[in-house]
Amino acid sequence: MTDHQHSLLEPWGIQEHGLDLDRLPAMESIFALSNGHLGLRGNLDEGEPRGQSGTYLGGFHELYPLSYGERGFGFAEDGQSIINVTDGKLIRLLVEDEPFDVHRGWLQQHDRFLDFRTGILERNVTWRSQAGRSVRVKSRRLVSFTQRSVAAIEYEVEAVDEDVRIALQSNLLANQVQEAETMDPRKAAALGTVLESELHTGHDLRVVLGHRTRRSGLALAAGMDHVIDRTYGTPKTLLQIDEDLGRVTISALLKPGEPLRIVKFLAYHWSGRQSMDWLRDQVDASLENAIGAGFAGLAAAQRDYLDRYWRVADFQIDGDPELQQAIRFAKYQLLQASARAETRAVGAKGLTGTGYDGHAFWDTESFMLPPLTYTKPALVRDQLMWRAATLRQARDRAAQLGLRGAAFPWRTIHGEECSGYWPAGIAAFHVNASIAHAVQRYVFATGDVAFERAHGLELLVETARLWSSLGHHGTDGEFRIDGVTGPDEYTAIVNNNVYTNLMAQLNLTAAADAAEAHLDVSHSLGVNPEEVASWRVAAAMMHVPFDERLGIHPQDQDFLLQERWDFEGTDQERYPLLLHFPYFQLYRKQVVKQPDLVMALFVRGDVFTAEEKEQNFAYYEGLTVRDSSLSAGVQSIVAAEVGHVDLAYDYLAEGAFTDLHDLKGDAAEGLHIASLGGVLGAVMFGLGGFRDIGGRLAFRPRIPDGLTRVAFPVIFRGQRIRVVIEPGRATYSLTSVEDGGDESGLTPVTIVHEDEELELVAGVPVVRPLVHLDPPILPVQPAGRTPHRRSHRQPL
């Protein structure tokens, strides 16, 4: 157990013993509950103390004008920010005449546990007031995976050693004060009060509040209702309602051994089109369904949903219990972020906090969707459907920029570009290729031709048209893409970024193939043979810079001409660099925020030789400072491929513990959901060596010293390939997606282990030896930026 390990190690959950107020903001993110539609931060039931109170709805946002010292044509007009909506988590407790407050009296016990198997956050508290009255409080909280708009809290209070009169105040509160404005661009804009009241009504123990955002005009209805369970006596209740607050007060005399138990049900519905009356009716209906199920029924449905998920999707890591816990945490949080997001974007922080204003980036398609594609593909389809629903905005944006096709936004909630800094944001056109790649991967993994015809082809065509108009053929005939920003945000507005060019090449080829496979649909989109031919020529003639002297690929055509950053002269306190140095200095030096060329080695590994991968990885290790949480996962994947298996383990652990150990110091703003997706990718694509390039499933598995077993599933065309890696061998098994399912109808699947083609059939595991690698010379990272050595069992 490390200094960062604040709890006993649990393989299926996160435990906290005691209450560390300094860690409270980060723990609010770690203990957040969500289903992709509704998210509740892990605030204490009583609401204070708190780091950042948060209740969020996927896609529900406010607009604010972006300010510029000098405005330019094509600049984004409005920012979009996720907002803290009506808070229904609040349950305050008065013991005699003293409020239950962890700052006051004596906190004799305070335990919390987030269970990945049940989806329930439990809290157990024993507290003694300054007057000497003791109570025991137990609460259980869930956000339902099966009833999309519903959350529930079971709250129980009991006198410990003598009769006590208590009052519970269950609140539904809108327009909580948000935190002060900050200069950190990763944090949310401070918008103040944004919800205007349109409805407040209630009866018995139910309250419904309706509000509308001031600028975006989105309507929201939130409701709460209660069921009181007490064996003896009838508590006294009081209902109070105003525009921004609904409150149910429950008073009772408690005797030891006779707890008062209430269940609070919450429901949230929002729309940009429906009337407030309609939303109110939906809230009432959802509350009735929730009450009908009861807390026990919601919990049973939650457990069943998660049982089915874990049976299929669990990743197993033997030999490092702390890492096993962290990997399951990553799996659980990725599910929470996307399970019921459906037609809404999954932001970089999910619904765990307001970091990055709740925006979705290329992170979604590049880091979250790859592991989901092969474990929960239906959720990938939902996210691609969201992108398809925003094609109109993307086409409008391309036209504004003087381009054809669709220019998807660098950062957004609703579909419009809302980045106020165009060099690092708006010029990062590679987001379009990430979307196209996600379409290509999803169709390959699922065989979902209906999706490809209805939506996928259009996404491929419009992104291909973007590249066709963005790039040009030079005098040598090569296709060049100038004036763009690649994944590395410390280098902006460059010519021929290798990652961007190679992903555009893939996009153009995929669009041409799909257009020819579905001629009727492509004709309806205005695609003709001449256009397809032009895509193929551009792809074939794509310019990919290479430095013969160093034997590596420059990140962009001029990158290696720039001066190297003075890493030795940079104090560690000045990282991340973007908060301590002007972009002017960053842009003109060889320094990498997050893997760029190294990302290309992974996703386009088919165009690099083994020697080129080794040389490129070593060079860019010396420049990458990992100021982005996205870095560790990618570096782990490529480190494993080129033979640095222990280094891959180190990076895997760094990514896995980013939030649990708050390594970046910003977990209070929400979890790094994309980074957690990258961690799962580091298991599948790194240690598993899994690649889906070129229409085949290929594996080059690795296992570092210290781990005794790594196992994960690959869901392919409705069947499951179980991959188990142990020292010296890998085992592949073809099974039904459902444990115990009928395997007689399974279709054999061809895979490649190293360079050997294997046919997997149901019931016949195939065992193959791991290839022994003589690792190349270990690369040297920038001064002070070497990852901690997990492989030597040293704590992070």
Q: Which two tokens stand for residue 772?
A: 């022994």
Q: Which two tokens stand for residue 57?
A: 């709805």
Nearest residue to 619 (alpha-carbon basis) of 784, 783, 779, 490: 779
Q: Would you say how long the chain is, in residues?
A: 796
Question: In 542-693, which residue ranges form alpha helices assigned H by DSSP?
Answer: 583-587, 597-603, 610-621, 631-642, 645-656, 673-681
- Compute the chain's Rg from CA coordinates: 27
Helix/strand/coil (H, E, C) string of 527-583? CCHHHHHHHHHHHHCECCCCECCCCECCCCCCHHHCEECCCCCCCHHHCCHHHCCCH
DSSP notation for 380-398: HHHHHHHHHHTHHHHHHHH
Q: Cα(662)–Cα(326) distance, rounded to whole angstroms?
A: 13
Q: Cα(409)–Cα(387) distance, rounded to whole angstroms?
A: 10
Chain-centroid distance, C-alpha 324 = 19
Q: Cα(608)–Cα(591) distance, rounded to whole angstroms?
A: 23
> Cα-Cα-Cα-Cα dihedral of 622, 628, 633, 638, to 10°?
-30
> Quick one: DSSP state of residue 240?
E
Q: Are β-strands 563-564 and 589-590 bridged in parallel, bridged antiparallel, or unpaired?
A: parallel
310: Cβ–Cβ under 8 A, 6 or more apart, which residues? 116, 117
Give the max Cα distance, the chain: 90
Q: How far is CA 684 from CA 553, 598, 677, 761, in A?
A: 26, 17, 11, 21
> Quick one: DSSP state of residue 412?
B
Q: How far is CA 346 from CA 60, 367, 509, 568, 591, in A?
A: 12, 12, 28, 38, 30
| Active-site residue identified among 16, 417, 452, 489 | 489
Q: Cα(634)–Cα(652) distance, rounded to whole angstroms?
A: 9
> Quick one: DSSP state of residue 591?
-
Range list of β-strands (E), 717-778: 719-726, 729-736, 749-753, 756-760, 766-769
Q: How many Cβ atoms from other residues are within 10 Å of residue 285's Cβ?
A: 14
Q: How far is CA 44 from CA 83, 90, 558, 562, in A?
A: 19, 8, 52, 51
Q: Cα(606)–Cα(608) distance, rounded to whole angstroms?
A: 6
Q: Hunting for tokens 């200069």 — which residue is that?
A: 183
Known catalytic residue at 154: no
Chain-centroid distance, C-alpha 507 = 24
Residue 468: strand, helix, or coil: helix
Number of H helices, E strands in the chain: 19, 31
Q: Hunting for tokens 């369970």 — which residue is that?
A: 229
396: Cβ–Cβ under 8 A, 6 or more apart, which residues? none
Residue 520: strand, helix, or coil: helix
Question: Which residues in 450-462 are b (16+ Cβ under 10 Å) and which e?
Answer: ebbbebbbbbbbb
Nearest residue to 781 (alpha-carbon basis) of 645, 640, 626, 671: 626
The answer to whether the CB of 260 falls within 8 A of the CB of 166 is: yes
Q: How far is CA 313 from CA 189, 317, 713, 744, in A?
A: 36, 13, 6, 22
Active site residues: 489
